[in-house]
Amino acid sequence: MLLPWSAYQAGQSPFVTFFSKLGVPYIGSIMNIVVLTAALSSLNSGLYCTGRILRSMAMGGSAPSFMAKMSRQHVPYAGILATLVVYVVGVFLNYLVPSRVFEIVLNFASLGIIASWAFIIVCQMRLRKAIKEGKAADVSFKLPGAPFTSWLTLLFLLSVLVLMAFDYPNGTYTIAALPIIGILLVIGWFGVRKRVAEIHSTAPVVEEDEEQQEIVFKPETAS
């Protein structure tokens, strides 16, 4: 709203464009430094968080066991190195298709967000069914309008995928890659399910009564 839409350029930060128009000396360079510092800060925090998330997943059996390795300084270097590999892939994509790399990353990130919400809704529907069958305890907070709103949400998420498919070429190729992603996820699940079952079979279970609370271990069942 401060400048005409035609004044902004795709390859330049809008902050740099605006402050450069003010005529203040070196303000464009200063804003570039600010934007670059913010990007590096975000990159560092992502590296920090992702390395520890991968370690937690490895300890829970949902990621390869080597991801749980730590250095003498208690740094989860395996998860950090795996994250760095993904960062390098991003740099390589930026070298190959600099004009499309942002859309490619954005599309794949959108798939992750859509999948997360879809699984949340599916789990809510399964929980609702289990409560009706008496297999799970009732909950105090219920989704308003369920199950209609549950199906409506899934339909909305599906419509987003359809719209992405019509966004050629990035969106179309992203949706076309869904079968490959699905196959990789299935292979990954078969690779970790035995370890997840072993960890679950020896996990402590909290049993509570009115007078005391104790932790017991589940007995292992024969396969």
161-212 pLDDT tens trace: 999 899 888 888 888 888 998 898 888 888 777 777 777 777 665 555 544 4
Percent of the chain whose predicted confidence (pLDDT) is above 70: 84
Beta-strand runs (E) in 23-165:
none
- Give the confidence band of 9 by pLDDT, cuts at 50, 70, 90: low
Count of Cβ atoms closer than 10 Å to residue 168 Cβ: 8
* pLDDT at residue 203, as a whole number: 62
Can you list the positions of beta strands (E) in the chain?
204-208, 213-217
- To which residue do tokens 């829970």 refer? 60
Residues in CB range of 122: below 8 A, 6 or more apart: 154
CA angle, residues 110, 51, 217, in degrees to nearest 5:
100
Confidence of residue 223 (pLDDT cuts 50, 70, 90): very low
The pLDDT of residue 167 is: 86
Domain definitions of the chain by residue range: 1-96
Higher-confidence residue: 135 or 1?
135
Query: Between these two residues, 202 and 111, which has the higher pLDDT value?
Result: 111
* Average pLDDT of the segment spanning 128-144: 85
Q: What token pair was written down for 158?
A: 């599906």
Count of CA atoms in the C-beta half-sphere (13 A) of 215 = 3
193 contact partners, CB below 8 Å, separation of at least 6: none
- Angle at CA 20, nearest 5°, toward 16 and 23? 160
pLDDT of residue 170: 82
Task: Report CA Rg, the chain.
Answer: 24
CB proximity list for 206: less than 8 A, separation 6 or greater: 213, 214, 215
Q: What distance in Å separates the CA atoms of residue 223 and residue 220, rounded to the nearest whole number? A: 9
Half-sphere exposure of 176 (CA within 13 A, CB side): 9
pLDDT at residue 215, as a whole number: 47
More confident residue, 15 or 164: 164
Q: What is the pLDDT averaged over residues 15-19?
A: 73
